[in-house]
């Protein structure tokens, strides 16, 4: 019989603890995707317990504090589980501690997305150091989104007080089979216009509805853009590859609009401060130069040199008046530009436009922005400055979408 000094005898808990420690040290086991068939599913006190198996083996899964979505998990269904591998020392059992799951086809889509994400990440397309800085001062903004959704209204509402901001809108498909090409083309168009920044936006949706923003050609188009791109896709919980590639990811379209508005107001404030500083510097320089000449003149005797200095003082006064006139003319020019801009902006008011003979169309009390919103037979109202005419759509001709310049600063 072997003595205890010849071999190492372990306690059960020692081996179990060692196994747990080794599993925890293996980083590849701390974030895994595992696919299998569900069996023995149950929910106890808010926690889900079940097995996933294939033809060879079975793995126990534990998911703590489950939500209503676990109702999708059924006996025998195929599931992909995301989580980390752990060892339960008390029972000597390997568990998969899950934090998320994908049932059926959704799991396949998510895996495909993860594979593409890792490929693009390896190329450096999501690297922080490659992101372009958003300009501190914004005077021109391009927007790529659908003009039929609520998103464009949210953004324009956030920018409504930015009088003089140039806004360029490209009507863009944001969902469906042709959406990815439409998004890339919209970015190309806006790069030709060269605004200070581009907002790429759409509302929230499922992973399938947002899939166009996970397409590789869209990610590459964002990175190849010469203009910084702000993505505002869905809600805060929605996160696409386009968000990872963009120079800034806004939680909502409204937030993106407010961000641009603040940068525009910063630009206007900077222009006003620079103009004021220029005027103050000119006045200060004239004052110092005149004071110096007056001091020198007081030190001279009343002779020919004095008369010469008097002539210089007279010349200086002329220069001072000329400089004052130049500064005044510059300020007057800025004032006229501001008044002209104000007149131009007032001319854009709905009341003024209607007085020129224009009208706008409403349907069910809402303004119709695009003819795509109307169908033959729809009842509409034609709104003039002094009357509202009821009408019905008898015919419809669809025109190709094009770049629309909404406003222009002077």
Q: Report pLDDT for 11.
A: 92
Q: Report pLDDT for 227.
A: 96
Query: How far apart, in Å, are the Cα atoms of 97 and each of 49, 85, 100, 106, 390?
Result: 10, 6, 10, 20, 64
Q: How far is CA 187 from the centre of its chain?
A: 14
Residue-range domain boundaries for the chain = 12-103, 121-263, 351-407
Which contacts (CB < 8 Å, 24+ apart) does range 23-26 have? 23/85, 23/86, 23/87, 23/94, 24/86, 26/85
CATH topology of domain 121-263: Rossmann fold (3.40.50)
pTM over 0.75: no
3-state helix, strand, coil in the chain (%, to 5): 45, 25, 30
For residues 195 and 140, is the Cβ–Cβ distance under 8 A? Answer: yes
Q: Report pLDDT for 330.
A: 77
Q: Report pLDDT for 156.
A: 94
Q: Report pLDDT for 348.
A: 63
Q: Report pLDDT for 400.
A: 63
Q: Report pLDDT for 192.
A: 95
CATH number of the structural domain 12-103: 2.40.50.140
Q: Report pLDDT for 146.
A: 94
Nearest partner of 197 among 222, 233, 220, judged by Cα: 222
Q: Report pLDDT for 347.
A: 63
Hey, how many other C-beta atoms are within 10 angstroms of the C-beta on 385? 14
Task: Indicate the pairing of strand 248-249 with strand 229-233.
Answer: parallel
For residues 39 and 59, is the Cβ–Cβ distance under 8 A? Answer: no
Kindly give the parts of the chain with pLDDT less than 50: 1, 408, 410
């Amino acid at each position: 019989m072997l003595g205890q000094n010849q071999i190492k005898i372990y306690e059960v808990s020692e081996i179990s603890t060692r196994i747990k420690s080794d599993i925890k040290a293996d980083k590849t086991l701390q974030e895994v995707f595992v696919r299998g068939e569900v069996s023995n599913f149950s929910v106890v006190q808010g926690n889900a317990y079940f097995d996933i198996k294939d033809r060879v083996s079975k793995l126990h899964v534990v998911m703590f504090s489950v939500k209503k979505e676990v109702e999708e998990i059924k006996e025998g269904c195929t599931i992909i589980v995301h989580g980390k591998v752990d060892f339960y020392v008390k029972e000597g059992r390997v568990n998969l501690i899950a934090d998320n799951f994908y049932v059926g086809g959704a799991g396949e889509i998510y895996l495909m997305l993860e594979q593409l994400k890792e490929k693009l990440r390896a190329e450096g397309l999501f690297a922080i150091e490659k992101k372009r800085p958003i300009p501190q001062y914004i005077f021109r903004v391009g927007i790529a989104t659908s003009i039929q959704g609520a998103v464009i209204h949210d953004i324009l509402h956030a920018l409504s007080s930015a009088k003089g901001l140039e806004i360029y809108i490209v009507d863009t498909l944001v969902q469906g089979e042709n959406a990815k090409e439409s998004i890339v083309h919209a970015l190309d168009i806006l790069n030709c216009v060269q605004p200070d920044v581009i907002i790429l936006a759409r509302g929230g949706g499922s992973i399938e509805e947002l899939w166009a923003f996970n397409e590789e050609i869209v990610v590459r188009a964002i990175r190849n853009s010469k203009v910084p791109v702000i993505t505002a896709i869905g809600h805060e919980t929605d996160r696409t590859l386009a968000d990872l590639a963009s120079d800034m990811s806004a939680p909502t379209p409204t937030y993106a609009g407010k961000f641009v508005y603040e940068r525009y107001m910063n630009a206007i404030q900077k222009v006003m401060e620079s103009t004021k500083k220029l005027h103050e510097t000119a006045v200060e320089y004239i004052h110092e130069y005149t004071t110096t000449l007056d001091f020198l003149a007081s030190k001279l005797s009343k002779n020919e040199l004095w008369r010469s200095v008097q002539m210089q003082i007279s010349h200086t006064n002329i220069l001072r008046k000329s400089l004052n006139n130049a500064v005044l003319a510059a300020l007057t020019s800025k004032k006229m530009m501001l008044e002209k801009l104000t007149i131009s902006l007032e001319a854009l008011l709905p009341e003024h436009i209607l007085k020129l003979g224009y009208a706008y169309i409403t349907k069910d009390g809402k303004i119709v922005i695009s003819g795509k919103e109307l169908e033959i037979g729809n009842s509409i109202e034609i709104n003039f400055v002094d009357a509202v005419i009821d009408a019905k759509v008898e015919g419809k001709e669809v025109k190709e979408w094009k770049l629309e310049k909404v406003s222009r600063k002077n």
